[in-house]
Amino acid sequence: MKKIVTFFVEAIQSYTRLFLISLIIVFIMTILNMMIPYGMRAYLDSIIENGDWQNFIIGLIIFAIYLFIFTIIKICWYVSLDNFGGQYIKDLELQIETSISHASLKQIDRIGLNKIKHMMYSDLLDVFRVIGHHMPSVFGSLLVIAAVLVLSFAYDSVVTAFIFFSLIIGLSISFFSRKLIAKMAGKTNSALKTSMLIQMNLSICLLCIRPIMYFIIF
């Protein structure tokens, strides 16, 4: 977890502008999400008071326009996350390539080519997913939760207290189970590397056996 936070802070410091763009888009999406309860309430009140088809159709059109705008903004958000995580992953890949170029052949042989291949692809992809998407998404979710708590407190403090304590319980479960999750994730990652090594060796063996089998058959 510390490494993830370190990588995330380093990415923010290196690409502050890209991160702020993502943050601004999240703020806009939060405002749009907060507009839904007010919009639905006004829409239902208008239908109940007037009861004509014109308001019903206008409301559906406005809601369709809202969904279209929200979808476009969400696509822009994902693009901004790709730019943010993509730029950081380029730097990280360059650092790995530089380390490999300065390493001796003995060090490379000790690590193993298959593990290096796995690090250059799977591990980098995992870092991209976490730093480029998961962490900014968590950051955006915290903004949404804060906005919901403020909005809920304006209407009912008891409901707000219930939501807040539920949030604390959820965060506590996540915090105390993080070591177990990290341990299981490490075992899964190690198993994937072993599986990849077996598959690579099997592929090489099949290529070597093919000419012999061809000679025996014919």
DSSP 71-122: HHHHHHHHHHHHHHHHHHHHHHHHHHHHHHHHS-HHHHHHH-HHHHHHIIII
Cα separation, 24 vs 146, whole angstroms: 15
Whether residue 189 has pLDDT greater than 80:
no
Whether residue 213 has pLDDT greater than 60:
no
pLDDT, position 58: 81
Cα separation, 212 vs 5, whole angstroms: 53
Query: How much of the chain exceeds pLDDT 90, in percent?
Result: 1
Query: How much of the chain exceeds pLDDT 70, in percent?
Result: 81
Contact 84, 11 (CB under 8 A): yes
CA distances from 204 to 28, 82, 190, 210 (A): 53, 35, 21, 10
Residue 161: which pLDDT band, with cuts at 50, 70 and 90?
confident
pLDDT, position 120: 73
Tokens of 9: 């802070």
pTM score, whole prediction: 0.60
Q: Residue 135: which residues within 8 A CB-CB, separation 6 or more?
A: 4, 8
**Tens digit of each residue's pLDDT (9 = 90 or more) over 77-126:** 888 888 887 787 778 778 777 877 777 777 777 777 667 776 777 777 77
CA distances from 45 to 38, 155, 196 (A): 11, 19, 60
pLDDT, position 31: 79
For the four alpha carbons of 30, 33, 37 and 42, in that order, the dihedral sign comes to: positive
Whether residue 214 has pLDDT greater than 70:
no
**Tens digit of each residue's pLDDT (9 = 90 or more) over 19-71:** 888 888 877 887 787 777 777 888 777 777 776 777 778 878 888 888 899 88
